[in-house]
A and B are shown apart, each in its own frame.
Chain A
């Protein structure tokens, strides 16, 4: 899918929200839209999903099947979860049997089985958001557009989002995500689009404070520092610095010294897999930003 010099404003004479955006997202790619509140992230996502049409420019090669997860699921509807998802599956073009199978699959995957008979207005915010995720996945999308998909989800459900993204990518689809919570550390291979001043610029993951990064402190034996640094750099990580080796006192050899303070860049939310007790240390310590 390509955006070619796309310009959009919401009213004649109003300010341009997007001013000449050109971007490309190929199958198998995931891009994260970042930017401050009101920068135009949701507008960009709705353009890509096909909700909005550009005032000037064009969006080309949009996949036929698009799944869109809005920031807030519209729960004020007189349907139960099952009835709503089945209807949305039918609207998406699935036959009745296929729609039923898809609803069974995604209510199971997203932990919605206990809520199948519950009316949408009675759902909690997080559960309603899961219904929003489910409706977008009923028919495997060629483009999945997620507007703050982690909003309102509990920690267990937040881990499901990268799984869904991986499934779409594995099927040859593309994914566009917006995020302001730093959750994109869960998407290590994502491209980063920064939305600012009506333009979209692609950022590298290094050295830009606007891009959420995680700092992982690793400890390696002094003799393996050079090899470890080389491997990390080869994997695309950014090695911030390598500290001088410390020689622990003999009495403390069995118990590592306390963790040193984190170095720049400023602290960011830890990734899901980070151990609660912090990294172990011995010998020489390096800090690596992903």
Chain B
């Protein structure tokens, strides 16, 4: 399966289509960090929120860059389960690359303040930032997969599914939402990072994100049974 992951990543990176989400991500981070220094943990929470649509879009592009017939050729060689897993894994790897850029970006442009006395240590801040972004990445990849051409068939439906997912995640994730559990906890994580983060809350948010992504990816696998 690793050979198929490498092949799909190579196909993604060798086309110019990989550039669009990277530029969009850098632009988003530039706008986010352009307002002056911020507390790093809180900034990372907001960064995960604004990057959520970019990560979902990037996953969709990666899954769509391969021609449909080539995806079916791979399915014949490795079977449907590995074919799907390899696509999702390739999207995750590409997403981790974007997340690492997002973690380093504010330090490069001086948009966050170094931790002082009484603040969380730098390693803890970076770990919290990584955690927040990974909690956004997993559902973002799931949304990207649900919006991929293999399921939606047409570009219009694909964009619509992606837009509904992203807007819904942000709208239903607001404080006081009537059904926050319908969407991944991207905004809830950002709110938690703005204050003190109890361990129980961190575990709850992690479990919530994993469960949501698990349900979404199960749906993806179920639909893909008849949509090779």
Contact = CB atoms under 8 A, between A and B. Distances in A.
A252 interface: no
13 contacts: A50-B79, A51-B228, A68-B73, A68-B76, A70-B69, A70-B72, A73-B69, A74-B68, A77-B11, A77-B67, A77-B70, A88-B77, A91-B74
Interface string B1-14: 00110110011001
Interface string A65-91: 011101011101111000000011011
Nearest to B82: A91
Contacts of A72: 69
Contact of B67 (A10, A66, A76): A76
Contacts of B79: 50
B3 A90 contact: yes
Contact of B7 (A46, A50, A74, A87): A87
A88 B73 contact: yes
A49 B76 contact: yes
Nearest to B68: A74
A92 B75 contact: no
With most chain A CB atoms within 10 A of its CB, the pick from B11, B14, B70, B77 is B77
Interface residues of A, number: 26
Contacts of B15: 78
B78 A51 contact: no
With most chain B CB atoms within 10 A of its CB, the pick from A49, A66, A72, A78 is A78
Interface of B: 3-4, 6-7, 10-11, 14-15, 66-70, 72-80, 225-226, 228
Contact of A52 (B10, B11, B73, B228): B228
B220 to A, nearest CB: 16
A10 B226 CA distance: 8
A78 B76 contact: no
Contacts, number: 64
Given A51-B72, A51-B228, A68-B76, 10 more contacts: A10-B226, A50-B75, A51-B76, A53-B226, A72-B69, A78-B10, A87-B10, A90-B3, A90-B6, A90-B7
A10 B3 CA distance: 30
Contacts of B4: 91
Interface of A: 10, 46, 49-53, 55, 66-68, 70, 72-74, 76-79, 87-88, 90-93, 135
Contacts of B72: 46, 51, 68, 70
Contacts of B11: 77-79
Contacts of A76: 67
Nearest to A94: B3
By Cβ-Cβ distance, the 10 closest A-B pairs, closest first, are A90-B3, A74-B67, A78-B14, A74-B69, A74-B70, A87-B7, A68-B76, A51-B72, A91-B3, A92-B77
B61 to A, nearest CB: 14
Nearest to A135: B73
A55 B227 CA distance: 12
Nearest to A49: B76
Given A51-B228, A76-B67, A70 B7 contact: no
A55 B226 CA distance: 8
A88 B73 CA distance: 9
Contact of A53 (B67, B73, B225): B225
Contacts of A51: 72, 75-76, 228
B64 to A, nearest CB: 12
Contacts of A93: 77
A184 B24 CA distance: 53
B171 to A, nearest CB: 30
